């Protein structure tokens, strides 16, 4: 066998053998390089997908850009605090949004921290395509407010965010009854969708201001997107107070 191989190679001139050797060397190096590129490419793909996954699992929280927007606040809105306060936080929110439920205690903490320097205004922004219970809950909250005013509204709102997994008519009635509404009037209000136009008006107003997700906040007209941490909100508020 060895002799046969030698006889085959001996048939070629030395220059031909050198040429074949060069070709073979190039092929080997190219193959190794291609393999390394494939490994790096897969590694980069994994890193990219991980980055996208983290981004999609976390709502965007952005510091204000400085551009103020005019937002109308009327007696029909639900206000916690003094409307004449130097800082007005307008929140467009969704009762079924998990990030809104995290953000709600943060704004409660802001009220406790700043007292009468803050006016918190709640407006509805139900994301119907992903939260089918958000709009019915919003309309139910208005039915509570119709009987009990802003105090009843805020108590109902607290309950919605504390028990998002229970959203539904039976839970709305349970909470409304515990707050002291006339239950039959409340049921009639909900079933007739008495406040559907009000909820829709809030939603359309949010769209006109550029709100695309919840919670959508405006601090003195400056947009702050996402469930912003308390420390970030405090920094923004202190800056506004100093100005």
Do the domain assignments include residue 172?
yes
Torsion of CA 49, 51, 56, 57, to 10 degrees: 110
Do the domain assignments include residue 223?
yes
- Domain of residue 219: give its range: 78-242
What is the C-alpha separation between 138 and 144, in angstroms, rounded? Answer: 10
What is the residue-averaged pLDDT of the chain?
82
Question: Domain with 192 in it: what CATH number?
Answer: 3.40.30.10
**Triad 216, 157, 166: Cα angle to 5°:** 105
Claim to verify: residue 230 and residue 145 sit in the same structural domain: yes
Claim to verify: residue 187 and residue 85 sit in the same structural domain: yes
Give the pLDDT band (50/70/90) at residue 224.
very high
Counted domains in the chain:
2
Claim to verify: residue 18 and residue 100 sit in the same structural domain: no
Give the pLDDT band (50/70/90) at residue 58.
very low
Residue 33 pLDDT greater than 60, yes or no: no
Give the pLDDT band (50/70/90) at residue 75.
confident
Give the pLDDT band (50/70/90) at residue 68.
confident
Q: What is the mean pLDDT of residues 210-233?
A: 96
Token couple for 228:
């912003």
Claim to verify: residue 201 and residue 155 sit in the same structural domain: yes
Q: What is the mean pLDDT of residues 73-101?
A: 95
Claim to verify: residue 44 and residue 111 sit in the same structural domain: no
Claim to verify: residue 101 and residue 202 sit in the same structural domain: yes
pLDDT of residue 30: 53
Do the domain assignments include residue 133?
yes
pLDDT of residue 147: 98
What is the C-alpha separation between 62 and 206, in angstroms, rounded? Answer: 17
pTM: 0.73
Do the domain assignments include residue 61?
no
Residue 7 pLDDT greater than 60, yes or no: no
Claim to verify: residue 226 and residue 175 sit in the same structural domain: yes
- Which long-range contacts does 229-238 make (Cβ < 8 Å, 24+ apart)? 229/61, 229/106, 230/106, 230/109, 230/110, 232/61, 232/63, 233/106, 233/107, 233/110, 234/110, 234/113, 236/63, 236/64, 237/87, 237/110, 237/114, 237/118
Q: What is the pLDDT of residues 158-211, one digit of tens each?
A: 999 999 999 999 999 999 999 999 999 999 999 999 999 999 999 999 999 999
Claim to verify: residue 45 and residue 139 sit in the same structural domain: no
What is the C-alpha separation between 225 and 63, in angstroms, rounded? Answer: 8
Q: What is the mean pLDDT of residues 3-30?
A: 48
């Amino acid at each position: 066998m060895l002799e046969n191989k030698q006889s085959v190679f001996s048939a070629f001139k030395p220059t031909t053998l050198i040429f074949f050797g060069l070709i073979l060397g190039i092929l080997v190096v190219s193959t190794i390089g291609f393999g390394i590129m494939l490994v790096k490419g897969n590694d980069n793909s994994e890193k990219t997908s991980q980055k996208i996954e983290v981004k999609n699992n976390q709502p965007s929280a952005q510091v204000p850009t400085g551009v103020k927007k005019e937002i109308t606040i009327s007696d029909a809105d639900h206000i916690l605090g003094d409307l004449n306060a130097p800082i007005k936080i307008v929140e467009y929110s969704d009762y079924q949004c998990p990030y809104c439920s995290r953000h709600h205690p943060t704004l409660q903490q802001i009220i406790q921290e700043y007292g009468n320097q803050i006016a918190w205004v709640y407006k509805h922004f139900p994301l119907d395509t992903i939260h089918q219970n958000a709009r019915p809950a919003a309309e139910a909250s208005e039915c509570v407010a119709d009987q009990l005013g802003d105090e009843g509204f805020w108590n109902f709102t607290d309950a919605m965010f504390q028990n998002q997994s229970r959203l539904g008519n039976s839970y709305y009635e349970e909470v409304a009854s515990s707050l002291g509404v006339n239950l039959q009037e409340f049921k009639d209000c909900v079933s007739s969708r008495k406040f559907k136009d009000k909820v829709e008006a809030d939603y359309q107003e949010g769209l006109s201001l550029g709100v695309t997700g919840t919670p959508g906040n405006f601090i003195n007209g400056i947009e702050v997107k996402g469930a912003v941490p308390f420390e970030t909100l405090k920094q923004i508020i202190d800056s506004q107070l100093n100005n």
